[in-house]
Amino acid sequence: MSVFNHQFHGTVLREYDIRGIIGQTLQPEDAFAIGRCFGSIVARGGGTKVAVGYDGRLSSPDLEPQLVAGLRACGLEVLRVGLVATPMLYYAGYKLEADGAVMVTGSHNPPDYNGFKMMLGKKPFFGTQIQEIGRMAAEGDVVPVSTEGSDRQVDVAEDYAARVMQDYDGGDRKLKVVWDPGNGSGCDITKVLAGRLPGEHTVINGDVDGTFPNHHPDPTVAKNLEQLITEVARTGADLGIAFDGDADRIGIVDNEGHVLFGDQLLVILARDVLKSHPGATIIADVKASQVLFDEITKAGGTPLMWKTGHSLIKSKMAETGSPLAGEMSGHIFFADKWYGFDDAPYSAVRLLGIVARMNETVSQVRAALPQVINTPELRFDCAEDRKFAVVTEVKDRLAASGAKVQAVDGVRVLTEDGWWLLRASNTQAVLVARCEASSEAGLERLKAQLVEQLLASGLAAPDFSGANAGH
C-alpha cells in the first residue's frame, strides 16, 4: 500500500476556506489531498457520505474528480451534485443527510483562482479545522484504504428550486426584476427561479462562463453593478439583483439605480422577520452601519454585533438561535424557515416577497433611513506578522485614553461624531478600516483619529481619496 503524504503551498489554507491560483499555488493533486484528509475526518467521526459540487470556473472540472477520488479512497460514498451555486451544495448536505460537503469554488476571486468551501455535518468547517487538513496531509495521517468508496450523480436543482419557492410570500403582485448572476454558477438556478416567480423578469449575464467576460463577479464593488443599473433603468424595474461567482453573496440595486449596501438590505429583511420573531437576535458584522443596529432595536429586535467572516456568523447564529444575520459583504443568512447558511438566491426570493407586499418603492425605503456619511471598506497592506499586533497596540492606547471602544473584532471606536473601525483581515496581509459620521466635518475628525493611531504604530495613512459615500 502506497504511503500518502502531501505538502500544500503556504498560502492556500485560509481562515474560512482553501484558496489559490491554479497552476501556481493550487494543483489538481491538492484536491485529492483535501478529499483524502477531509474524508478521513468524516470517516473517523463515523460518517459515510459526502456531497460534492463545483462552480463554473474553467479549472473546476479538473479539480472535482480529484477531490472525489480522495474521498472515495477513504471508503466514503460521494454524492456528486454537479455544477451548482454554493448554497445548493449546502442544501444538498442537509437534504441528502450527508456527513460532510465540499464545494469546489473560487467564489468572487479572479478567473485564475479556485478553492474549496467545506461543511462538516451541518456546521461550517473553518479556522483550526482547515489548518488540521495541512497537518494531516504532511504527516500522512489518514484512514487506511480498506474498501474503495463509491460515487453517484445526484440532481438537487429541482428540489432546491421548489423548496426556495415554497417560502415566496409576495402573493400575485407582478414585480419587474432584473437579475445578474454574473456568468457564475448561480446562472441556471437564477433562470429557474425567475421563470417561476410572478412578474416580468430579465436575466443578464445568465450563461455560465468561467472567464467572466462581462464583469468581475463581486456585487460589493459598484463598478460590477453598472450593467445591472443600466438595465434596471431601461426596463423600469422595481429592483435589480446581483450574485457573486458562486451565488452565496447578494447585491441589490433599487428602482432609482442606487446600490443598497449589505446593512441596508438587512434593515428591510430584519423588519419583516421580526414581525414573526419579536425580540429576536439579529446579527451583523462589525463593519455594518450604526443605522442598522438602531433600526433593529426600533423594530423590536435585539441587535448583536459580531466578528466578520461567514463561518463565524453562522456559528454565532446557531449559538444564539438568531433567525437572521448578514454581513456588509452581502452574505445573508436566514434561519427563519431556512437552514442558517448564506444563500443569495433564497435571500433574493425572500426580499422579493417583502417588496411585493410593500406600499413604498425600495428607493423610498432606502431614502427614509437615517442618512450618514461613511467611507467604504478601506484595505491597506500590513505584514502578516504585524497586522494583529497593530490592532492590539491601538486598542491599548485607546484604553489608556479612556475612549469608548467595542472590541468584538479589532477596535470599533465610538465618538460623538460616529465611529471608526480598524481590524486585521483573517485572510490577507491587510488591515481593514472604515469610518461613519453624521456630517462631513465629523467624518474628517474620525479619519484624523484613525490616521493618528496608525502613525503611532509606524504605519502610513490609508488613501482616502474618493472614499466618502452617502449611505
Q: Given this model, what pLDDT does residue 428 score?
A: 81
Query: Are 18-155 and 373-470 the same fold in CATH?
Result: no
Query: Going by CATH, does the domain composed of 373-470 fall within 3.30.310.50?
Result: yes
pLDDT over 90, % of the chain: 91
Check pLDDT > 90 for residue 104. yes
At the second CATH level, the architecture of 18-155 is 3-Layer(aba) Sandwich (3.40)
Average pLDDT over residues 218-237: 96
Contact between 69 and 120 under an 8 Å Cβ cutoff? The reply is: no
Average pLDDT over residues 186-206: 98
Check pLDDT > 80 for residue 470. no
Residue 470's nearest CA partner among 432, 439, 441 is: 439
CA distance 11 to 19: 8
**CA quadruple 414, 419, 420, 424: dihedral sign:** positive
Mean pLDDT is lowest, of 214-228, 318-332, 449-463, for 449-463
Residue 377's nearest CA partner among 251, 291, 286, 257 is: 286
Q: Is 148 exposed, middle or buried (0-12, 13-18, 19+ CB in 10 A)?
A: exposed
Q: Given this model, what pLDDT does residue 1 score?
A: 43
Average pLDDT over residues 196-203: 98
For residue 250, the cross-strand partners are: 243
Confidence of residue 129 (pLDDT cuts 50, 70, 90): very high
Confidence of residue 427 (pLDDT cuts 50, 70, 90): confident
Confidence of residue 471 (pLDDT cuts 50, 70, 90): low
Contact between 46 and 12 under an 8 Å Cβ cutoff? The reply is: no
Please give the distance of CA 124 from its chain centroid, rounded to a whole number.
Answer: 12
Confidence of residue 262 (pLDDT cuts 50, 70, 90): very high
Give the position of cell 498560502: 11
* Mean pLDDT value across the chain: 95
Neighbours of 256 (CB within 10 A): 15
Q: Given this model, what pLDDT does residue 245 score?
A: 97
**CA quadruple 363, 366, 367, 371: dihedral sign:** negative
Query: Which element (helix H / strand E) includes 447?
Result: helix 440-456
pLDDT digits (tens, 9 = 90+) for 402-423: 999 999 999 999 999 999 999 9
**What is the third-level CATH fold of 159-368?**
Alpha-D-Glucose-1,6-Bisphosphate; Chain A, domain 3 (3.40.120)
Q: Is 55 exposed, middle or buried (0-12, 13-18, 19+ CB in 10 A)?
A: buried
CA distance 436 to 370: 12
CA distance 217 to 156: 24
Check pLDDT > 50 for residue 445. yes
DSSP string covering 201-232: EEESS-S--TT--SS-S-TTSGGGGHHHHHHH
Q: Is 461 exposed, middle or buried (0-12, 13-18, 19+ CB in 10 A)?
A: middle
CA angle 260, 264, 267 (to 5 degrees): 140
Neighbours of 247 (CB within 10 A): 31
pLDDT over 70, % of the chain: 98
Confidence of residue 429 (pLDDT cuts 50, 70, 90): confident
Average pLDDT over residues 458-465: 82
pLDDT digits (tens, 9 = 90+) for 361-402: 999 999 999 999 999 888 889 998 899 999 999 999 999 999
**CA quadruple 342, 348, 350, 355: dihedral sign:** positive
Average pLDDT over residues 162-178: 97
Would you give the DSSP letter of residue 109? S
Check pLDDT > 80 for residue 468. no
CA distance 247 to 285: 20
CA distance 46 to 364: 53
Kindly state the cell numbers that stand for 406. Answer: 467595542
- Is 401 an active-site residue? no
Check pLDDT > 90 for residue 293. yes
pLDDT digits (tens, 9 = 90+) for 53-68: 999 999 999 999 999 9
Total length of the chain: 471
Give the position of cell 467572466: 212
For 404-422, b where at least 16 C-beta lie within 10 A, e where not — what string? ebeeebbbbbeeebbbbbb
Average pLDDT over residues 86-92: 98
**Biggest alpha carbon–alpha carbon distance for the chain:** 70
Contact between 105 and 4 under an 8 Å Cβ cutoff? The reply is: no
Confidence of residue 469 (pLDDT cuts 50, 70, 90): low
Give the position of cell 426580499: 351
Query: Which residue among 40, 60, 107, 315 is the active-site one?
Result: 107
Show me where the domains of the chain are located.
18-155, 159-368, 373-470
